[in-house]
Structure 1
Amino acid sequence: MVQKFNEHIVKSLPFLKEKKLLVACSGGLDSVVLTHLCAASKFDFAIAHCNFSLRGAESEGDETFVADLASQLGVECFVKQFNTEQEAKTKRLSVQMAARELRYQWFDELLTSKGYDYVLTAHHADDSLETFLINLSRGTGIQGLSGIPKMNGNIVRPLLSFSREEILEFATLEGKEWREDSSNASIKYLRNKIRHQIVPIVKELNPTFLQNFQHTQHFLRQTSDLAHNYLEELKSKLFRQRDGAVAIPIAELQQLNPLDAYIYGLLHSYGFTEWNDVKDLLTAESGKQVFSKTHRLLKNRDFLILAEIIPEIKGTYNLHLDKTSDGLPIKIQLEEVESFEKQTQNVVFLDMEKLIFPLVLRNWEKGDYFYPFGMQGKKKLSKFFKDEKMDLISKEKQWLLCSGDKIVWIVGKRADERFKVEESTRKIVKISWLK
């Protein structure tokens, strides 16, 4: 198996030979075999062991076993003990999900603090089959049927092409020791039930089932990659950047067929799950929204506006002359200048003697009005926003620069006529929005 492992690395993961690696080792069969294979292949690696404190003395025994294994192989061993049950209770997660989050968070910390490049985990072909069946039972798209990815960021799984049977045979023939996790025998967990009660039956029906499944998943991944590449190309045409958000033209979206598949393909990576609600936005009134944990989707006239959910920054901030905007929500600079230049959306020139310092940066409020530069008379901001066809998200992010209770500048949009530079102006202030 060592030779086969090395051939697999050379063919599929050659970069691992030159990197500093962390091998996630629980002490169980799969991770112990991966550790020995890395040692036999002369990888530059250390071991990382998570003690989730879930099985009392058995968990402590696993930790001791892994530490002894690292010592035998002459590699460094990092160990972290977690109060997993408390974490699950605090975050209202299942114990398994809490353990997973703790594990990968710690791995990220180790990679950063210790200078390692990748974490290797011992997922193998049978794990991928079990994941396929779990996702199939719950309902999933093609990505969920494509199995466990060989790489996911800095997580690499070099045993995915090997079966549990191959791993066990290697460990037995080589006389390797490992720890048995008693919880793996319990069928109260869905994965274990599939592992012990379903997979043996399908393998008995067809002795080459696992190999055939691996071929099928290979084709599914290729199909998934094709769909992904096409959807990314489509996104570059449909997704239009606007004020820190993305505008998607509804008319063009509705021309796609099958529409449901396109909506899912274009938006599922943003965390949306209520697909009927998302589709209903296409014909809803302006202002209707659908939320995921990370993003919001807003119907605004002829567009869907996709934006990341960012905690609102509210309040008022003072701005002084010749000081940059350290500590402010946006970067504004005020400086006295001798000459007047052409104003732009991001730079305005005002009569300093008409201003009351410090100027105030604040959010817009209902009832706000100003005197648009170049025009006579005042205008409510709500009307100005409507004329500018600003959507709800853009309005929520809009900042105003004020002198006392008067609006000086709708930042990045329009200055106020009352503060403009005139022939009688003696002092000019240049105000820049440093985007």
Structure 2
Amino acid sequence: GFAPSAPLGTSQDKSVKLGINVIRPILLLTREETAAYCRQHDLNPRTDTSNLSLSPFRNRIRLRLLPLLKEYNPEIVEALVRTARIAQDDMAFLESDAAKAWEKVARKEQNNIVFEKKKFLALPLALQRELLLKGIETLVGTLKDIELVHIEEVIDAMRKPAGRVIILPDSLEFVIEYERFVLGKDPAALSPFPQLRGEFKLNVPGTTKLPGWVVTVTVVPPDVLKRDVADYKAYLDFEKTGKDLTVRSRQPGDRFHPMGMTEPKKLNQFMVDSKIPHLWRERIPVVCSPEQIVWVVGYRIDERVKVMPETKQLLELKFRRV
């Protein structure tokens, strides 16, 4: 897997799972120095024969490549140790900055990580990569399946138009929205709209129980309109809607005449223009009469059913999440 600390080697002092601190006091000593110490003090060290096998890649580097490099530079090991120490210092600085940035741009919601888009994109690329890795590790507990190509694919997609979804290992998705990025296994769960499958007839007037919703429809006098408005409440001209109303999610080819606009447009285009997150669009309830869509719940009613001065009765529709 990919991690920015991969080239740094093993740390002398590292906290591992279960809150245990592992200290390696002789990590920076060479094999020759350790062997000389054992001879001086009549110690008989144990030899792990697996370290002599050439099958593991790390063993081939240690047993074959390093001796060859020493022929060109006898101090190659010391040079590599110095490089690792410098890189560890740099990584400690990066991790400190990343922890501060995390508090400002990231939050966990329902097993998803949400990044504030504008603030995230203002960060240096190194911090962006570090935060992405921190987010993945927070959700799945490991980075073993994550490669550099995955992180770079996400970075490249961040400035592309909203709606893109990047599929990552461990069933993770990275979703580009208008104002935020969402990383998780079920980003759609962050939608304020419960999943609505099928088409349901509304009791007009009356109460209708739907998956995730309770819908109340009431016939009220026109003066009520002046007193009460809300995102999940709408007032329509009852004479124009009639009693035969249904609710469903959007369908291919849906058209809609948003109130205040001069002409109808495709419902999908209305959702794009309204910057409704891509993963929300299949969940938004759509109230329909036999003739047309009358209300895209939470957003806009249809121009053709709006309340006019001559309206005699209002149809009050209220959606409540349950």
Name the TM-score class by shorter chain.
0.5 to 0.7
Aligned length: 228
SS at match of 1:396: coil
Pair 1:264 & 2:133 matched: yes
Cα distance change on mapping 1:414 and 1:302 into 2, 3 Å? closer
- Distance, in Å, in 2 between the alignment partners of 1:400 and 1:427 is 22
The separation in 2 between residues aligned to 1:418 and 1:397, in whole angstroms, is: 24
**Whole-Å separation in 1 of the counterparts to 2:303 and 2:108:** 30
Tell me the equivalent position of 1:337.
220
* 1:252 aligned residue: 120
Q: In 2 relative to 1, CA 322–149 (structure 1 residues): closer, same or farther, beyond 3 Å?
A: farther
Q: 2:209 — aligned with what?
A: 326
For residue 387 of structure 1, the aligned residue among 273, 281, 293 is: 273
Q: 1:235 to 1:367 in 2, by over 3 A?
A: farther
The letter of the residue matching 2:166 is Q
- Look up the equivalent residue of 1:326 and give its one-letter code: K
1:237 aligns with 2:104: yes
- Relative to its length, the structure with more helix (as a share) is 1
Question: For residues 279 and 235 of structure 1, what CA distance do their matches in structure 2 show?
Answer: 19
Q: How does 1:98-247 map to 2 (within 5 A)?
A: 146-149=15-18, 231=99, 234-239=101-106, 246=114
Deviations 1:25-47 (A, max 9, x none): xxxxxxxxxxxxxxxxxxxxxxx
2:18 maps to a residue whose letter is: P
Pick closer, same or farther for the CA change 1:305–1:422 going to 2, 3 Å: same
Look up the equivalent residue of 2:218 and give its one-letter code. E
Between 1 and 2, higher relative CO (CA 8 Å, sep ≥ 6) is seen in 2
TM-superposed CA distance for 1:324, in Å, is 3.7
CA-CA distance at 1:294 after TM superposition:
6.0
The aligned counterpart of 2:79 is: none
Distance change >3 Å, CA 259–CA 349, structure 1 → 2: closer
Taking the aligned partners of 1:259 and 1:431, their CA distance within structure 2 comes to 44
Could you tell me how far apart the structure 2 residues matched to 1:329 and 1:253 are?
A: 35
Residues 300 and 281 from structure 1, CA distance in 2 versus in 1: closer, same or farther, beyond 3 angstroms? farther
1: CA distance between counterparts of 2:264 and 2:201? 25
1:400 CA drift (Å): 1.0
Match of 2:249 in 1: 363
Could you say which residue in structure 1 is the equivalent of 2:238? Answer: 352
For 1:170, the equivalent position in structure 2 comes to none
Q: Indicate if the aligned counterparts of 2:150 and 2:168 stay in contact, CA closer than 8 A.
A: no
2:294 and 2:101 mapped to 1: Cα distance?
41
Residue 352 to residue 335, structure 1, CA distance change in 2 (3 Å): same
What displacement does 1:378 show? 0.8
Take 1:282 and 1:301, find their aligned partners in 2: how far apart are those partners? 16
Check the 8 A contact 1:263/1:279 in 2, yes or no.
no
Q: Does 1:280 align with 2:153?
A: yes
In 1: Cα distance, 2:252 partner to 2:271 partner: 12
* Preserved CA contact (<8 Å) 2:196 2:285: no
Rate the CA distance shift 1:254–1:424 in 2: closer, same or farther, 3 A: closer
Residue segments in structure 1 that go unaligned for 5+ positions in a row? 1-139, 151-159, 162-196, 202-223
**Contact residue 251 and residue 302 of structure 1 kept, 8 A:** no
2:25 aligns to what? none
1:269–1:329 Cα change, 3 Å: same
Gaps of 5+ in 2: 1-8, 22-46, 52-91, 190-194
Alignment TM-score, normalising by the size of structure 2? 0.56
Identity %: 20
- 1:361 match: secondary structure: strand
TM-score (norm 1): 0.43
